[in-house]
Amino acid sequence: MIAELGQFAIIMALLAAVVQATLPLIGAERLDSRLMNFGGQAALIQMFFATLAFGCLTQAYIVSDFTLLNVAENSHSSKPMLYKITGVWGNHEGSMLLWVLILAVFGAAVAAFGRNLPATLKARVLAIQAMIGVGFLTFLIFTSNPFTRLVTPPLNGNDLNPLLQDPGLAFHPPMLYIGYVGFSVAFSFAIAALIEGKVDAAWARWVRPWTLTAWTFLTGGIVLGSWWAYYELGWGGWWFWDPVENVSFMPWLMGTALLHSAIVVEKRNSLKVWTILLAILTFSLSLIGTFIVRSGLLTSVHAFAVNPERGIFILFLLAIAIGGSLTLFALRAPALKAGGIFSPISREGGLLLNNLLLSTACATVFLGTLYPLFLEAIGGGRVSIGPPFYNNTFVPVMIPLLLLVCVGAHLPWKRADLLGVLGRLKFAGLATIIAALVAWYIADGGPLLAILGLGMASWLLLGTISEWMDRIKLFRAPLSTSWQRAINLPGSVWGMTLAHGGLAIAVAGMIATTAWKVEEVAILKPGETLSVFGTDYRFEGVREITGPNYGAIEGTFVVSQNGEYMATLKPEKRLYNVQKMPTTEAAIHSTFVGDYYAVIGDPDGTGGWTVRIYREPLVTWIWFGCGLMVFAGLVSLADRRLRVGAPADKKQARLPRKAAEASS
């Protein structure tokens, strides 16, 4: 009965989306405020039914209702409750339902928080948002129905892929989806602006919080995925340039560019056409990401099921969304009035360069990810492109960007004196050289490129700090004045400083782990000790343990340095009962300077065990730096200027609506 209610709810959500996609658009054309107001109501109704449907599916998972095909295929009664719930989106149908739910929630949020938007713009944004909804709801109902019943239900289910039964991965898909789908709002705003033929500073200000929300969650989602790969796959790596990683990284790169170019539109009323294009491209890349992963074109843990019918349906959706929006862009963009002019050496010029470099970097990732698919489609054979490709293309493009971040942040708007700015950065430059020398001393030589890379990261960090110090006049004014200025800095400025600082820390971590990672494979008998990079790992032996839905072999290592006890590591090798699938659970001891990482392998038959020990320097810096970027996004979102005029000033908010009503 509950499942039928869910089925009913997704159909109702589709109907609400159809109403929302049409009536407000007609209303905006005719300036009919009653038709336009349908948009907001329909958005709330659509969200209600999408939530209801999602709730129904969740309930089926919680009570293990195996009369549902979806539950029977992807759940098991012995699974821990957390994974029963997260299993809702651990499969194709459920994850599409989550996609649709998040889309509807964003639509409803625009309806609820967008009270101060001009009525026509709001109506058009909601209509575009609903069009995406119609596409995905149709897809859900006709090709991926999560509520299909089984005539003869099994006694128990097939269980969820054990690799997905993990706390890190449980919340990776929802965060990633909030990111992907959040860019739909920027997309809807861009399309609505093209229809209206007007982009101005106010438009940029409305788009910014949505873009920022999407970017923040996407960053979090990607980092969670990377962290999961690091500790769950047991290879000690955190990024593999795997196509499924790349498709989430591309919208991130474009979204980052969008975030920066929207600032130019907001402050200087310039780069408008470019910003609209970026908004379209960012969401298009999110759609392509969904398409590539879901269509089974790439096989991985993410490709739940291969089904050509679905692939063609998504391809069709993609063609309409991307083709349609780009056509509209080509038709309407030339009509947008160009804004203020600026010199190449200026804040605008810096942000433009940032955009060009980010898009170029994104293009190299795009090529590397899609070239094999393209080559195969034209019958050029099956190829794969490995990490060296990205090291030789993506990395060289990103280096100038990382070097210029702190220079750009120092530049004033319109035109700037480059020598003056470099003069203000001389202390940062000096400190960078010292930091690089210290790194060189600690690493005892080491690869020169990595030392230079660490120098680059510290330049980015110190340049960012010096910009912040300039803003609060630290050491140039009394401390109390500086303190006051720091408190009064707007959230978006804090956000910028924290995000750039986080980036610097993460980059330092990435470079250090890549350059100085140590991997040691050996066969150990209980009682034997393996020494890796000055650290002793004494193997104590193994024992068998039993988990809720798996059995495991647990090894014990005592880690010590110079005879001093540091930690006990207990890596496991699990065998899940239902799918009979083995997984590796690495044991990790994290410290500020690096991780001690142990994995237990197979017995060699004579009492010894294969073990792998990794020494991962500064790897925690990656998670900390990226975490700081997520935090920066939240701080920036809290900036009250983003909300100015929103619900705050009721009088002003009401005026435009009255005007619109009067004109109809």
Q: Binding string, 21-60, against other proteins, x = CB under 8 A?
A: ----------------------------------------
305 binds other proteins (CB under 8 A): yes
452 touches other proteins by CB under 8 A: no
Alpha-helical regions (H) of 63-171: 69-74, 81-86, 92-113, 119-143, 167-170
Cα 407 to its chain centre, rounded Å, is 26
Stretch that binds other proteins, among 15-23, 257-265, 504-512, 516-524 (CB under 8 A): 516-524
Q: Which stretch binds other proteins (CB under 8 A): 157-165, 186-194, 428-436, 455-463?
A: 157-165
Which positions ≥6 away from 364 have C-beta within 8 Å? Answer: 390, 393, 394, 397
Q: Of 580, 592, 651, 663, which one interacts with other proteins (CB under 8 A)?
A: 580
636 binds other proteins (CB under 8 A): no
Please work out the total of residues on this chain that contact other proteins, with binding judged by CB under 8 A. Answer: 56
Secondary structure of residue 499 in the 3-state scheme = helix
Among candidate residues 391, 615, 622, the one with its CA nearest the CA of residue 516: 615
Query: Binding residue for other proteins (CB under 8 A) from 161, 248, 261, 282?
Result: 161
Give the closest residue to 457 by CA, choosing from 465, 445, 468. 465
If binding is defined by CB under 8 A, does position 602 make contact with other proteins? Answer: yes
Q: How far apart are CA 18 and CA 28, in angstroms?
A: 16
d(CA 453, CA 457): 6
Residue 145 neighbours by CB distance under 10 Å: 17
Rank residues 218 and 244 by Cβ distance to other proteins and give the closer one.
244
Q: Which is nearer to other proteins, 260 or 612 (CB)?
A: 612
Structure token digits, residue 442 = 């600690």
24/339 with CB nearer other proteins: 339
* Binding flag, residue 482, other proteins (CB under 8 A): no
User: Judged by CB, which is closer to other proteins: 44, or 336?
Assistant: 336
Beta bridge partners of 560: 536, 565
For other proteins, which stretch binds (CB under 8 A), given 54-62, 433-441, 465-473, 519-527?
519-527
- Decide: is 465 part of the binding site for other proteins (CB under 8 A): no
Query: Residue 166 — φ and ψ, nearest 5°?
Result: -155, 135
Is-contact 232 168, C-beta < 8 A? yes
- Exposure string over 480-506, b if 16+ CB within 10 A, otherwise e: eebeeeeeebebbbbbbbbbbbbbbbb
- Determine contact, residues 298/243, Cβ cutoff 8 Å: yes
Comparison of 233 and 642: residue with beta carbon closer to other proteins: 233
- Kind and range of the H or E run holding 528: none
Question: Residue 73 or residue 467: which is nearer to other proteins going by CB?
Answer: 73
Rule CB under 8 A: choose which of 31, 202, 431, 581 binds other proteins: 581
Is 335 an interacting residue with respect to other proteins (CB under 8 A)?
no
Residue 88 gets which letter from DSSP? G
**Under the rule (CB under 8 A), what is the footprint of other proteins?**
73, 158, 161, 163, 296, 299-301, 304-307, 338, 341-344, 352-353, 356-357, 360, 363-364, 367, 371, 381-386, 388-389, 392-393, 396-397, 415, 521-523, 573, 579-584, 599, 601-602, 604, 608, 610, 612
